[in-house]
Structure 1
């Protein structure tokens, strides 16, 4: 039996802990990215969970921690990775798209090898209103840079940054139409 929707507030948060879920097809670099996130020295605990796709199984739901942040990974050279992300977002509560998730597009610097267009990924992210990070995992520096960006968003999502909420970050990210009615 599987859960249909992953919800952001169905469990209590753990004190001084952030839990990140990395979702992506096999071979997209989830484990390399997880190692990069874990290697960053922070004054709080970081838990990383990985999933090939959503929904998550209900077998270990009781022992699973609250997921503070979801990172969907698309390898632009792998069409299957985009299909996995498209299917997986359907099993996520829409509240995750209010500053509690992001999309990562990998291998952007390889236009000749792309199986997924940047425009498609960008439109998909705009549809869900979630930010997109462009990166690579080929070098340690690229891995750490991307990991730091994800961890900074996850800290806010988990409430570990004073006076800043995911909704505040999300609202400052989007332009507002100021037409008079």
Structure 2
């Protein structure tokens, strides 16, 4: 066995041809071994990357949209009543109360009386009351708090209690200010006669 091994070891040295073949075989073996060594880590790296990529799915189920439907909002009619602005404006109540206090002063002369009510009146009612005798006004004082009776998109009616009975004052907004357009008895029975709240002129 030892003799055969010695012969194998001396074989590359017998000739240049044997030496060249031996060298080529050794180089091929080393090259092949290098490829195997370099390929193993790369394969391991690719396997690890594939495992990480194939992890638990993070895909979420579709969520319901939280963006408001602008089209639906624009086409849906508002549920707010048309009289909401008038009903919520305390200025209308103040104007109605101030007017009735100025109106219910039958002891004044006509000029003073007209001067007191003029700032509260819309032009048509101002003309209607311009020749009224204040002595004929059926009230002399406000006796309680005014209350909203009804309201529409263009007008509001407020009741004001007086010592001559409650009166309903109609107001309309003009240039951002409430003006009185009418005054009449409030709470009258349908068949009851309507008292004159805008009395005839003196001397008639």
Give the TM-score taking structure 2 as reference length: 0.22
From the CA coordinates, give the structure whose radius of gyration is larger.
2
Q: Which has the higher helix share?
A: 2
Normalising by the residue count of structure 1, what TM-score does the alignment of the two structures yield? 0.24
Q: Which has the higher relative contact order, 1 or 2, with Cα contacts under 8 A spaced 6 or more apart?
A: 1
